[in-house]
Structure 1
Amino acid sequence: MFYYLDGTVTEILPNLAVIDCGGVGYACKTTNNTLAALKKGQRGKLYTYLNVGEGIFELYGFAAQNELNSFKLLLGVSGVGPKAALAILSAATPESLAMAIVTEDAKTLTAAPGIGKKIAQRIILELKDKMARETAGGLDFSGGKGAPAPALFTNKATEAAQALAVLGYSSQEVSMALKGVDVENLPLEDIIRQSLKKMVK
């Protein structure tokens, strides 16, 4: 129903931003990361998710598309609702969430209020399985080089691809983003960051 809202930021409250679009104020539940990117009285753009259910009509907004993608992926995990997903994405960026999934780092997830070890392990298990399916078809990470990639290159590229899949990018988008990135020498987090920069250009 709503893809994004683009207007003036009229209110910034805990976990809530109000965007005025043509005289109508839309209250969007959101994360600390998105709130930090907004300034009251200035223009703001939020990618939205509408949660509709029995007696429920809630709008969620995110400053970046990959944060919205991460939110939707978390909602796909059994036992994770919007409140828990917001808590996780307030404590972790989409990049650090992806890293936590790849490295099976439950501590990053349990840093969020209300997220216990059991739910953190379920998130890692279910999303890692989803990542494995996303990258099962194999991707071309060679960047056009003729020589076969060494094992380190392949392993790091695969881990980076899995992390990017967590953020909702397709196999084709991931393959294009990783081409030309120095996956052999950069730390995994830097590989992911550089790839994301290429995708948002």
Structure 2
Amino acid sequence: MIASVRGVVAAIFHDSAVVEVGGVGMRIFCTPGTLAGLRSGAEARLSTTLIVREDSLTLYGFADDDERQLFDLLLTANGVGPRIAQAVLAVHQPDVVRRAIAGGEIAVLTAVPGIGKRGAEKMIVELKDKIGPVGSFSEAGVLSGGWQEQVRQGVLALGWTASQADQAVAAVTETIDGEVPPVPVLLRQAIRLLGKTR
């Protein structure tokens, strides 16, 4: 298993990045939050999980070990594949997910595209005893000047079109009065707005 990758970021796409390791460019699929922290030409370290299928080897990358551990845990639930697990981490921070599972908060999990009420209930039942101790959660601040692009990339990564992503960012911008909320909060708001237009 490839547990981490360190190297120079060669390219960044809407759903992945290419990191050069020993002369080999590895394409690593990441959440929008992780991609927002990468810069082309700069060195980066990503915690990773390698998913092996009959016809593919896919590498998923995370900003830290905590995200990767939660991703791996989510994959142990029936019906949860890498895309759903990644979507969970795109919408919520790890502590929020752990609290939702431990506390049986279905609404938090169903805020993730692709997870319905039944799926959320199954996740809670299957993972509640595996989630471990849940600490107190404090929302992380937003990277200055970059929240619009982070939200836009998050919306794109979850399957909406570029025009829908732009509309969502514009709509969220209009709701902000004063201090800008953290990116996960803004992304959830954008998803809610887009959900109403589908």
Aligned to 2:78: 78
Determine the C-alpha separation between the residues in 1 that align with 2:110 and 2:13: 24
Residues 148-182 of structure 1: CA deviation (Å, up to 9, x unaligned): xxxxxxxxxxxxx2x26xxxxxxxxxxxxxxxxxx
Determine the C-alpha separation between the residues in 2 that align with 1:51 and 1:115: 21
Give how far 1:59 is off. Answer: 0.9
**2:84 is the counterpart of 1:90:** no
One-letter code aligned to 2:83: K
Question: What are the equivalent positions in structure 2 for 1:1-201 lying under 5 Å apart?
Answer: 1-131=1-131, 161=133, 163=134, 188-190=136-138
Question: 3-state DSSP class of the match of 2:119?
Answer: helix
Q: Normalising to structure 1: TM-score of the pair?
A: 0.64
Structure 1 residue ranges without an equivalent (≥5): 135-160, 165-187, 194-201
Aligned to 2:183: none
Identity of aligned residues (%): 40
One-letter code aligned to 2:103: T
Deviating 4+ runs (over 3 angstroms): none
Contact 1:11 1:17 in 2 (8 A): yes
Determine the C-alpha separation between the residues in 1 that align with 2:28 and 2:64: 14
Determine the C-alpha separation between the residues in 1 that align with 2:111 and 2:40: 28
Give how far 1:102 is off. Answer: 2.2
Q: Normalising to structure 2: TM-score of the pair?
A: 0.65
Aligned residues: 140
Aligned to 1:168: none
CA RMSD, 1 decimal: 1.9
Residues 7-49 of structure 1: CA deviation (Å, up to 9, x unaligned): 1112111221111112211001111221122122211111111
Contact 1:15 1:30 in 2 (8 A): yes
Residues 96-123 of structure 1: CA deviation (Å, up to 9, x unaligned): 1112112222222222221111111111
One-letter code aligned to 1:57: L
Determine the C-alpha separation between the residues in 2 that align with 1:118 and 1:72: 21
Determine the C-alpha separation between the residues in 1 that align with 2:65 and 2:90: 15
Structure 2 residue ranges without an equivalent (≥5): 141-198
Contact 1:71 1:86 in 2 (8 A): yes
Determine the C-alpha separation between the residues in 2 that align with 1:63 and 1:189: 18
Residues 64-115 of structure 1: CA deviation (Å, up to 9, x unaligned): 0010000000000011011111111111111111121122222222222211
